[in-house]
Amino acid sequence: MDSELTAWALAAAQALLFIAAAPLLAGWVQRVKCHAQNRAAPAVWQPYRNLAKLLRKKMLLAENASWLFRAVPYIVFGAMLLAAAVVPLIAVNLPSAAIADMIVLVAFFALARFFTALAGLDIGTAFGGMGASREMMVSALAEPAMLMAVFTLSMTASTTNLSVATGYVLQSGLVLRPSFLFALLALTMVAVAETSRVPVDNPATHLELTMLHEAMILEYGGRHLALIEWASQIKLMIYSVLIVDFFFPWGIATGFSAAALAVGALAVAAKLMLLAVILVVWETVLAKMRLFRVPQFLGFAFMLSLLAMLTHVVLETGG
């Protein structure tokens, strides 16, 4: 009884840590990027300051904003919170793993996206509608690719449960699976598109012709904006952790001893930092592509995930 309580406490702590660390990851990415581009870098905790400032600010709402517009930030943040709660960060086999299903995770993302798009439409400005339609286009292409990649992994692990799948990969050790390689590439490309990074979108600009995500949330301010910003930082974190969990799970804690948890935390921190560096290199090297090229980019991601599934079926099973 007692150990179960500890486990639940751990799960809750992990979820809280997850959302608390999300701005830190964003700050780290920002900092590395500034260094890479020879600019003066802000402190790593700059995102916390931004969030705090936004939370303190007085909120201004458009006259024709409906209740939907006001509810959306909470829905989005809630969805991301729930999503973050099911992704194993430091330890697998937590009790929250029972609901840690990959398809549920994809559904959470879809939910958040759907409401963001609604909010963009609700206010009735040109940018909101444009952003919503673009976001929907991207997501319609990205979602199948992501699902395909996720299915490939679940076919290998014979489960759609995140925690079990991570445990499976951890247990089977280093196996050169071509399907994992392709799925990793596909998932990375999807993640880049979904978290609005270069080359699909640029989170740092508000150039009306090119922006996707920013266009939808242009009318938000104060507390609402803080929640949405925070939610998108959590999303980046979730994708990063997913990639780490699936493809490089070594170090994650399987037991609940303090030492194991500490190792798990350190390992995941190191891996995320490294991943962020790779992301920065990617963003610095690539230029943002034209919007009309995005379907091709995501089509390629889809093809990769399909190829991952095919190579799994053709090469890795049977015989």
Q: How far is the CB of 147 from another protein (least distance, A)?
A: 16
Under rule CB under 8 A, how many of the chain's residues touch another protein? 24
Q: How far is the CB of 311 from another protein (least distance, A)?
A: 5
Q: How far is the CB of 173 from another protein (least distance, A)?
A: 8
Tokens of 220: 């938000």
In the complex with another protein, which residue's Cβ is closer, 95 or 178? 178
Is residue 178 a contact residue for another protein (CB under 8 A)? yes
In the complex with another protein, which residue's Cβ is closer, 17 or 170? 170
Q: How far is the CB of 156 from another protein (least distance, A)?
A: 9
In the complex with another protein, which residue's Cβ is closer, 4 or 318? 318
Q: Which stretch binds another protein (CB under 8 A): 21-29, 179-187, 199-207, 268-276?
A: 179-187
d(CA 171, CA 162): 14
Handedness of CA 166, 171, 173, 179 (dihedral sign): negative
The label of the residue with tokens 């009790």 reads 95
Q: Phi, psi at residue 187, to the nearest 5°? A: -65, -40
- Binding string to another protein for residues 288 to 307, with x set by CB under 8 A, is what? -------xx--xx--x--xx
Q: How far is the CB of 308 from another protein (least distance, A)?
A: 9
Is residue 315 a contact residue for another protein (CB under 8 A)? yes
Distances (CA, A) of 174 to 139, 249, 288: 33, 10, 35
Among 1, 63, 259, 318, binds another protein (CB under 8 A): 318
In the complex with another protein, which residue's Cβ is closer, 86 or 148? 148
Q: How far is the CB of 301 from another protein (least distance, A)?
A: 11
Q: How far is the CB of 26 from another protein (least distance, A)?
A: 32
- Give the number of other CB atoms < 10 A from CB of residue 173: 7
Query: What is the residue type of 178?
Result: P
d(CA 35, CA 33): 5
Is residue 146 a contact residue for another protein (CB under 8 A)? no
In the complex with another protein, which residue's Cβ is closer, 171 or 205? 171
- Binding string to another protein for residues 36 to 55, with x set by CB under 8 A, is what? --------------------
Q: Which 8-state DSSP code applies to residue 255?
A: S
d(CA 8, CA 14): 10
Q: Which stretch binds another protein (CB under 8 A): 34-42, 76-84, 205-213, 309-317?
A: 309-317
Three-state secondary structure call for residue 91: strand
Tokens of 7: 């486990």
On whether the CB atoms of residues 44 and 24 are closer than 8 A, the answer is: yes
d(CA 97, CA 141): 28
Which residues are within 8 A (CB) of 268 and not within 5 positions of it... i.e. 6 or more apart? 89, 90, 241, 244, 251, 252
Half-sphere exposure of 130 (CA within 13 A, CB side): 13
On whether the CB atoms of residues 161 and 97 are closer than 8 A, the answer is: yes
Q: How far is the CB of 186 from another protein (least distance, A)?
A: 12
Among 31, 33, 113, 177, binds another protein (CB under 8 A): 177
- Which residues form the interface with another protein (CB under 8 A)? 172, 175-179, 181-182, 295-296, 299-300, 303, 306-307, 310-311, 313-319
